[in-house]
Structure 1
Amino acid sequence: MALQEITFTSANGRDTIQGWVYEPVGRATAVVQVVHGLGEHSRRYLHLVSTLLDAGYVVVAADHAGHGRTAMESGVWADAGDDAAQVVVADALRLQAEARDRLAGAAASTGAPALPWVVYGHSWGSLIARAMTSNPDARLSGLVLGGIAAQMRGIERVLDRPALAALAAGDQAAEPAPQELVGQLFDGFLERFGPGAGPTAWVALDADVVADHGRDPFNNFGAPLSARFLQGFVDLYDQVNGDAWYATVPSGLPVLILAGDQDPVTHYGEGAYHVANRLVATGHADVRTRVFPGVRHEVHNEPTTRAEVEREITEFVARVS
């Protein structure tokens, strides 16, 4: 494996985005851009990254503004600046452009063709990935959505949107959002898991995965979300879950959706089927959906589903490349 680092100034003008390009031994046949979720970082996907490398794919990933190594460098967690929805999507597209240029330059020196590009977005990353899909410059060959954020009860039925909007537009926009509003966003996340469930029990059925998530200092999942970041999350959610989004998706783009049926982020699997059905109904014929029974949010990390999820992704990339 060869590793390149990519750094660039975030669209927020404050952070330096920390990114990486992992290249396999031998000739690569495709690129997979991994877009991580809320309160985590891209190296939590190293098992998947290793599998993709072994399959002959380049992997591109970065830590978003307010997250992971990017936040370690800036000292600012859980905040992406003003207009966070636009910032995180612009940064993901900038990473793609930077990595694409580097890989194209290397390919040109050997006469190899440009590689097909697939985006894998998990959770909040599924929102970012869907927004990327709407941009013609992304030129995607495939889209994979894991732990897809769709039909979330808190956002759609509980959140006090006027109160959040007022805070995000005010002088305290960069300050932590009230816990009441944050709690509304995550409403019902633990209700199926019993009275002894910890605050992140929804992440995985496997206790070791949950413990690993909690002790990882690059995660910092408990960092207070700024009001403007919370608003940006909701704005992006609304954008890609609205009816207008489907018309922006190229009709021939293959899509793979993966989720667990005990995951509140995807409304216990129903959100995955909803997005898939809407895609098909709007003329997108190449859609595969798989909802795994008995597991929660991180289907790519659950020991019982990890290998099968990785097989789904690697075979999907092979098919669309």
Structure 2
Amino acid sequence: MSLQEIEFTSANGRDTIQAWVYEPIGQPKAIVQLIHGLGEHSRRYLHLISTLVDGGFIVVAGDHSGHGRTAMQQGTWGDAGEDSASVVVADEVTLQAKAKEALPQLPYVVFGHSWGSMIARGMAVDPQTELSGLILCGIAAQMRGIEKMIDRPELARLASSERGAEPAPQELVAQLFDGFLGRLGEGAGPTAWVALDADVVSNHGRDPFNNFGAPLSARFLQGFVDLYDQVTSDDWYKQLPAELPVLILAGDQDPVTNYGEGAYHVANRLADSGHADVRTRVFPGVRHEVHNEPTTRAETERETVEFIQRVAQR
């Protein structure tokens, strides 16, 4: 495997996005752009990246504005500037463009996890983007906090004010994550919803590039809600190319995907809107990071590799 680094200025005009290209030995079969989730970074996916590279795929992955190495170098966490819903999607579109400039012309697949699944959906309907396949892991869908709990007028007021770049009030952040610990019983830690395996949760918590507990700015929180609304709207299903193959992966104990129901909901809406090539896999008994859970990691990777191999041959 060979490794290259990519740097470019974020659409927010402030940050320098840090990204990496992992290339296999020999002739590559496809390019996979990996989009990480909220409060983490792309190198948490090294096991999946290694599997993809071993399968003959190039992997392109970056750290979003306000996250990972990008935030480490900038010194700003949990904020992506003004209109962050547009910023994070635009940055991924730019990363794809830069990858295509430097790499062979190959089938191009996007893998987005959690918040990354929202960014991936936004990217998939961007007119500048051309995809051969879309993989949505830990898909953010039917999130109770966004759909039923968050005080949207108060959030909008704060995000548009001079205090927009300041941390959002804790009660608004708590509303976003409403119900995440509801099924986990007494004594569950704040990020226990991430994985059933305690070692995965512990590793998540002690990784300094994760910084999941960093305060989220009001304008970032607004952008999160805005992007969620965009990619769950009727318009998104109409804009997504009908011929684009989609793979959805989730755990049935994951609150981000309404305990698996959100994954089926998106799959059914895709089918109803004329998208015939949709596969959904909901793993029983596991939580959010099905790609990291010891009991589902290998099967998640197998599903991912087989999907990419299939769409790359179309």
Q: Do Structure 1 and Structure 2 share a fold, with TM-score over 0.5?
A: yes
User: In the alignment, which residue of structure 2 is the partner of 1:157?
Assistant: 148
The list of structure 1 runs, each at least 4 consecutive aligned residues, that deviate by more than 3 angstroms after superposition, is none
Q: Deviations over 1:30-64 (max 9, x none)?
A: 00000000000000000000000000000000000
Give the TM-score normalised by the residue count of structure 1.
0.97
User: In the alignment, which residue of structure 2 is the partner of 1:108?
Assistant: none
Q: How many residue pairs were aligned?
A: 312
Q: Deviations over 1:159-180 (max 9, x none)?
A: 0000000000001000000000
- Please give the residue correspondences for 1:160-171 in structure 2 after superposition, counting only pairs within 5 Å: 160-171=151-162
Does residue 304 (structure 1) correspond to residue 286 (structure 2)? The answer is no
Q: Distance in 1 between matches of 2:74 and 2:128?
A: 29
Q: Deviations over 1:145-204 (max 9, x none)?
A: 000000000000010000000000001000000000000000000010011100000000
User: In the alignment, which residue of structure 2 is the partner of 1:130?
Assistant: 121
Q: Distance in 2 between matches of 1:222 and 1:179?
A: 11
Does residue 238 (structure 1) correspond to residue 198 (structure 2)? The answer is no
Q: Deviations over 1:66-110 (max 9, x none)?
A: 000000000000000000000000000000100110004xxxxxx
The amino acid of 1:91's aligned partner reads D
User: In the alignment, which residue of structure 2 is the partner of 1:8?
Assistant: 8
Shift of 1:138: 1.2
Shift of 1:137: 2.0
Shift of 1:225: 0.2
Q: Distance in 2 between matches of 1:178 and 1:285?
A: 43
Does residue 217 (structure 1) correspond to residue 205 (structure 2)? The answer is no
Q: Distance in 2 between matches of 1:76 and 1:43?
A: 19
The amino acid of 2:279's aligned partner reads R
Shift of 1:135: 1.4
SS of the equivalent of 1:290 reads strand
SS of the equivalent of 1:137 reads coil
User: In the alignment, which residue of structure 2 is the partner of 1:266?
Assistant: 257
- Please give the residue correspondences for 1:22-171 in structure 2 after superposition, counting only pairs within 5 Å: 22-104=22-104, 114-171=105-162
Q: Distance in 1 between matches of 2:26 and 2:164?
A: 48
Shift of 1:243: 1.0
For the aligned residue pairs, the C-alpha RMSD in angstroms reads 0.4
Shift of 1:136: 2.9
The amino acid of 1:67's aligned partner reads H
SS of the equivalent of 2:134 reads strand
The amino acid of 2:163's aligned partner reads Q
Q: Distance in 2 between matches of 1:134 and 1:63?
A: 21
Q: Distance in 2 between matches of 1:57 and 1:138?
A: 19
- Please give the residue correspondences for 1:168-207 in structure 2 after superposition, counting only pairs within 5 Å: 168-207=159-198
Q: Distance in 2 between matches of 1:82 and 1:74?
A: 16
For structure 2, the 5+ residue unaligned runs are: none
The amino acid of 1:252's aligned partner reads E
Give the TM-score normalised by the residue count of structure 2.
0.99
Q: Deviations over 1:212-235 (max 9, x none)?
A: 000000000000000000000000
User: In the alignment, which residue of structure 2 is the partner of 1:111?
Assistant: none
The amino acid of 2:230's aligned partner reads Q
For structure 1, the 5+ residue unaligned runs are: 105-113
Q: Distance in 1 between matches of 2:307 and 2:31?
A: 12
Q: Distance in 1 between matches of 2:242 and 2:180?
A: 34
User: In the alignment, which residue of structure 2 is the partner of 1:292?
Assistant: 283
Q: Distance in 2 between matches of 1:81 and 1:273?
A: 33
Percent sequence identity over aligned pairs: 75
